[in-house]
Structures are given as C-alpha cells and as structure tokens.
Chain A
Amino acid sequence: MRKLDYTTIFFAIMGSFLVLFIFIPIINLITSSDAGSIISNLQDSQVISSIFVSVYSALFATVIALLFGVPLAYILARHDFKGKGFIESIIDVPIVIPHTVVGIALLLVFTSNGIIGAPLSKLGLTFTDAIPGIVIAMLFVSSSFVVNSSREGFESIDPRMEKVARTLGAGTLRTFYSISLPLALRSIVVGSVMCWARSVSEFGAVIILAYYPLVAPTLIYQKFVNYGLDNATPVAVILISICLAIFILVRVLMRGWRTYDKN
C-alpha cells in the first residue's frame, strides 16, 4: 500500500471534522424517533397534506425554473454581451439575501395591491396565504440552481459541435434540441434536483408570503414552538427521509447515466 505523507494525514483529519459535523446530526435525527410516533404522524392528515404541499409546490417551482432558466442558461453559456455580468449577479443574488427579507420583498410586489400582484389578482391569482405564494417564494430562492447548473452543462459542449450540426442543415433551434439539450441534460437534471430540494427546504420566505397552507418546514416549526421538540422530531424525520431518498435515488441514476466526456 502507498505510504501516506504527513500532510495528507493532517488534512484528512482536519477535513473529517466537517463531514462528521454534517453526518452526526442527520443520523442522530433519523434514529432519534421511535417507529410508533412516526407511523402515527404518517396517519395525521395535517402532516401528510403539509408534506404534499411542500413536494408539489417545489415541483411546480422547479418546472417554472426549467422553463425560463434553461433558455437563459443557454444564452449565458453561448453569448457575450454588455450587461452579462449584471444578469449573472441578479441570478445569484437570492443566495446572499436572508430568506425572510426575500419574503418581505416578494410580499410587497405580490400582494393584491402590489405592482405584479394587483393585475394578477384581477385574473383570480392570489399569492398571499396561497399555493402560488409558496411557489414564487421557492422559485425566487432556488431558480439559480437550474440556471447555473444548466449553464455549466451547455458550456461543456464545444460550440464547434453545434456549428457542424448547422453545416449539416440543422437550424439553430433544431441544433439546440438535437445536440445541445441532450448533451446538457445531465447537468440540467442535477440542477433541477438541487432546485427542488432547495425549494422543499425553504422556510423563511414561505412563512412571510404564505403561512397557510402549511408547508412541512412551517409545520415542523409550528409543532416545535407550540408542543416542543418531541412533537416536531417525527415530522422532521419524515421530511428528511423523503429528501434523502430522492437525493440517493438521483445519485444512483446519475451514476448509470452515460457520460460523453470529451475526447
């Protein structure tokens, strides 16, 4: 066996701190609740509906992020233009804004008399204390995952490959969906899963826009404040299990995904 040098050993010890710091609380949480309380919580319609609202809204937010994020990602990957840095910053800004602040910012615009909320409320679309409010809160904080990951995917494709497709008779749109999109799909899927997971976990922005209908993180918070730790834990375990299951599933799928590494 290769003999390890002291630097590697030292760095490995330092590095394992973070790994354990993340790993221990998660494992402890999952094992801390007894099966009985988890099962009774699973039969609680409030718990089930809050998890459903979370998963469903997050999915919706992800679809919207994909619909608008992928074209943006492609433009950012392929074109240089004035103001590009500004657009990139705007996409990344939600990462640095406190989420309660995001909630307030969105609330001001999307209430029934806000500049976007007012016209939309005339169409029957309300955001405060409604699913659309949850969706936009999620979309705001997590769409950058789709944009940035898709963009990386597009950037890894040699533009000359697209040029060859053009010379063979494919127009720009045809080239996009027969060459660029399939080759970037892996990155787009990764970005989507990150976006979805980030949406499910969103709490701060959601409670300000829409305390009700309850999303799972809000329910956990409510149970914790009103009934204490013992009551909140089983719901937390259920939520984290769902998230981890999907995370692992996607990882496994990704491993089997054909990669087309460059020559």
Chain B
Amino acid sequence: MIKIENLSKDWKKFKIDNISLEINDNEYFVFLGPSGSGKTMLLELIAGMWSPDSGKVYMNNTNVTYLPPEKRGVGFVYQNYMLFPHKTVFENIAFGLTLRKKEKQQIKIEVEELMNLFGISELSDRLPRTLSGGEQQRTALARALIIHPKVLLMDEPLSALDRKTREELIQEFRRIHKKFDITIIQVTHNFDEALQLADRIAILKKGKISQVGTTDEIFRHPKDKFVADFVGSENIINGIAKEGIDGLTIVDTGNIKIESSQKKIGDVHLTIRPEDITLSNENIVTSARNVFKGYIKEIYDLGTIIKLTVDVGEQLILVLTRKSFSDLELNIGKEIYIYFKATAVNLF
C-alpha cells in the first residue's frame, strides 16, 4: 500500500499542495488532471525523484520519504519512453538486471521472456531511434518490469501514440496489471484512458486533489464544476434547489424545474450525462421523473453516434445511435420530448 501524507512541494511553476492519499495494493490508480496540475510531480515524488518540502510517503508502512529512487524498487515509464539511445532494445531492458549483477545467461533468459511477452523479440538488437512509438513504449515497459517492481508508475504513457497503438497498449496495460500482481499508478489528462483502465481516479487541480473515487463515482457524480468539466459532463446547469415530494430535490433553473434523487438545498450545479437522456417523438408514459417538451436545435454527426442539442427551456446535449437517429426521422427544428430519471441528475 502506498500512503501519502500531507505532501507538499513547490518548485518553479510546479506545485503539490498538501496532498493526502492512499493507494491500495494491486490497484490501478489514475491521476487525472490538466497540464500544470502537478500530477507528474506527484508521480515523481512517489518515485523518489524529488524530496518533498513537507509531508511523508509510505510504502508498505515504511517511510520512504527520503529514500532515493534506486532504493524504492518502483518501475517508471515516461510519455516519451526515455529509452537509453546508445543501448539496444536488449541492453535497455537488461539495464536493471545488469545493475543487480545477475549472471549473463540468467539476464538473457529473463530479457527474452519479457521481449516475448511484449512481442518485441525481433527488435532485440535495434537502437531505440529505429523503433515506432508503440515499440518504444513496449520496450520501456519491459525495461521497467524486469526488476519486478511492486509499483509501476506511468507518466502519460499513451499520449504520444496514435489511436490504434493506444488501444493496443490499453489492452497490454490490463494484461500486465493482472499478470504481474502489481500496483499501477498512471498519470493522464485523458478521461477516456482513465475510464478504460482505472479502478480509482484522483482528479488533480493546481496541486490539490479535487476528488478521489471509483471511475463510476467520478463519472456519474462529479463533486464540483471543475471535475464535471474535466470528465466531459456536457450538461452543466445552475439552479436553486429546494425540497420536493417523494424525498426528491427540485432544482429550478429559472426556465425549467428538474427533479433529482440527490439531496441539496440552495444554489447548485446539476449535471446530466448525455447518454442518460432518451428522446421520443411523442409524450409517452415512462417512470422517468423528468419529461420536457422542446425542439432540436443542432445536430452533430460524429460517425457512429449522433449528438443533438435540444432546447427545452434549457439547452441539453444528448447522444443517439445512428440507427435510432434515422428511425426517429429527426431534423433541426422538430418538436420532441426528452426523458431522464431523477437518479441521472447529479447535484453539486
């Protein structure tokens, strides 16, 4: 288990401000935040590349705050791979074992095993600059994993890669996580990556943690506007909340009244995930507490899905599959009804 206690560090334009956090064994944990939020510095603090100004870092209940990186036994993978350019793929991967003065034959066996695992055996004698991004990242992963670290830290490991390679590596990361019995902490600014990989996510903003939770918690129930914006909640509306019937909360946005199952009073923001809103041509009877009549204002064709803006007094965004879009025979200006459940309305 990794435990971070009141950690602070201020260096040039980077800042970590009194962060406390616990990461469980074998957890896939993601630090998510915009650039400049301090997420890389937090990762490097865990790796021991900096000394904090104050605070402590524990690994397995041992205080490692002032332990240098070479004594921590963590693997580290950077966005730009940081392969040693003067060493071959084999030598790069073997580096950690060479330092441990293992026998040449044993090193060869272990390196080849990992190269097989990542499908890079035939690159053994190549220099890093001759490799593709995906190949370099696989080499970097193998290099980090060869020392069998208990913790693997990855700083934006997918950001420099094309979409297809990224998808492949996401599968790779999942596989590693299972196979190596390892705690992974990954830094990213991409929420989709976090969604696909993380057990839990910490959202960072200006060196502080805005919210920690499971992927679902953060996605469905962003705690503040920053998190909501960051995880791509597109329907964020201000309103005044008051107590309604059946234990629900009614939020008056000034134009419409929306019911939520969450309890809050006073000035609030509400978010509704676009995929939680259904659309119909007629006013049908459903269990959904929120039904509004409006018209279609904009249509964006995103290929496999269609995104619509509807005006029901407030403008809401929702998504449809291409099939239901054509079945409903929608066009701009058409009158429609939208429905969503009270549980789909997140308040903060």
Query: Could you tell me which A residues sit within 8 Å of B by CB distance?
Result: 158, 160-161, 163-172, 174, 179, 182-183, 258, 260-261, 263
CA distance A179 to B85 in the complex (A): 9
**Structural contact, A164 and B128, CB atoms closer than 8 A:** no
A-B interface contact total, Cβ < 8 Å: 71
B340 interface residue, CB < 8 Å from A?
no
| Chain B residues within an 8 Å CB radius of A166 | 48-49, 68-70
Chain A min CB distance to B80 (Å): 6
> How many residues of chain B have a CB within 8 Å of chain A?
30
Contact among A158, A167, A179, A261 with B76 in the assembled complex (CB-CB below 8 Å)? A167
**Structural contact, B147 and A168, CB atoms closer than 8 A:** yes
Chain A min CB distance to B107 (Å): 13
Using known A-B contacts A163-B69, A182-B86, A261-B129, determine if residue A168 contacts B143 with beta carbons closer than 8 Å.
yes
CA distance A170 to B136 in the complex (A): 21
**Structural contact, A167 and B74, CB atoms closer than 8 A:** yes
| Chain B residues within an 8 Å CB radius of A263 | 80-81, 128-129, 136
When C-beta atoms are compared, the residue in chain B nearest to A183 turns out to be B86
Chain A min CB distance to B293 (Å): 56
CA distance A51 to B29 in the complex (A): 67
Query: Could you tell me which B residues sit within 8 Å of A by CB distance?
Result: 44, 47-49, 68-70, 72-76, 78, 80-82, 84-86, 95-96, 99-100, 127-129, 136, 143-144, 147
**Structural contact, B100 and A169, CB atoms closer than 8 A:** yes
**Structural contact, A179 and B84, CB atoms closer than 8 A:** yes
Q: Lowest 6 A-B CB distances belong to which pairs?
A: A260-B85, A168-B96, A166-B69, A167-B76, A169-B99, A161-B82
When C-beta atoms are compared, the residue in chain B nearest to A163 turns out to be B49
**Structural contact, B80 and A163, CB atoms closer than 8 A:** no
| Chain A residues within an 8 Å CB radius of B100 | 169
User: Is chain A's binding surface mostly helix, strand, loop or mixed?
Assistant: helix
When C-beta atoms are compared, the residue in chain B nearest to A168 turns out to be B96
Using known A-B contacts A171-B70, A263-B129, determine if residue A165 contacts B49 with beta carbons closer than 8 Å.
no
CA distance A169 to B143 in the complex (A): 12
List 11 A-B residue pairs with CB atoms under 8 Å apart, sorted by A's residue number.
A163-B47, A163-B69, A164-B143, A166-B70, A168-B95, A168-B144, A169-B73, A171-B68, A260-B127, A263-B128, A263-B129
| Chain A residues within an 8 Å CB radius of B129 | 260-261, 263
**Structural contact, A158 and B70, CB atoms closer than 8 A:** no
Contact among B48, B68, B82, B136 with A164 in the assembled complex (CB-CB below 8 Å)? B82
